[in-house]
Amino acid sequence: MISDLPFWINGLFILCLLWCLLFFYLETQSFFWTTFWILWSFVHSVLSFNGFHTNTEAFPPRFLLILIPSIILVLFLFYALKKPNNRKKTYFFSSVLHLLRLPIEIVLWQLYLLEWIPQLMTFEGRNFDIIAGCTAPIIAFYSLSQNPSKYLLISWNILSLFLILFILVNALLSAELPIQQFAFDQPNRAVLYFPFTLLPATIVPIVILMHLRDLKSLLLRETSA
């Protein structure tokens, strides 16, 4: 845990995590997989709280214990989880979930000011994910309208998915890992500590999964409930 951070930064991040888990459950209606994500988050919280991920000299890199299982989880749940019958309602829940991207941007900006992540991970740098957070409430309520445009919803999900993947790649390439390519003067160190390890471990995978699930449903079916 980063000892010199103001309490509200950790608190805001944890609220984002809870928001993410709540709307994952509301969208999927899966108690089992929501419980799984909670347990998964708990395991990585314990590891990061005890400094497990901060050993950047270990081989293979310990961060792979987050990255590889997360990728496998997203791919598995993309195929395993079915959309509930009321698709309009689940589009609403998944879109509301993306609201967390706004407070996450605030957390990242504060971490940059305190020199725990590089500027490129903020809205002042290469992180344009704030666009998805700002437009999420509009899309959420639009998805409940009488005849929402299937193509508008598809376009928004594709753009928002690209934004989260873009900043994810930049975050990985600026972290203190063997693949680091830039931000050597102020690398991405915060994700090695509790609670921010849960950004790549839980929040980002769920955000990506929600986009993939919505795109799959929109591409295969009509948007009407």
Q: Is 84 helix (H, G, I), strand (E, B) or coil?
A: coil
Q: Closest Cα partner for 40 from 213, 148, 198, 170?
A: 198
How many other C-beta atoms lie within 10 A of the C-beta of residue 129?
A: 26
Model confidence at 225: pLDDT above 50: no
- Report the Cα 201 to chain-centroid distance in Å: 8
Tokens found for residue 152: 């508008």
pLDDT for res 166? 95
At 70-86, the pLDDT tens digits run 999 999 999 988 877 66
At 97-142, the pLDDT tens digits run 999 999 999 999 999 999 999 999 999 988 999 999 999 999 999 9
DSSP one-letter code for 127: -
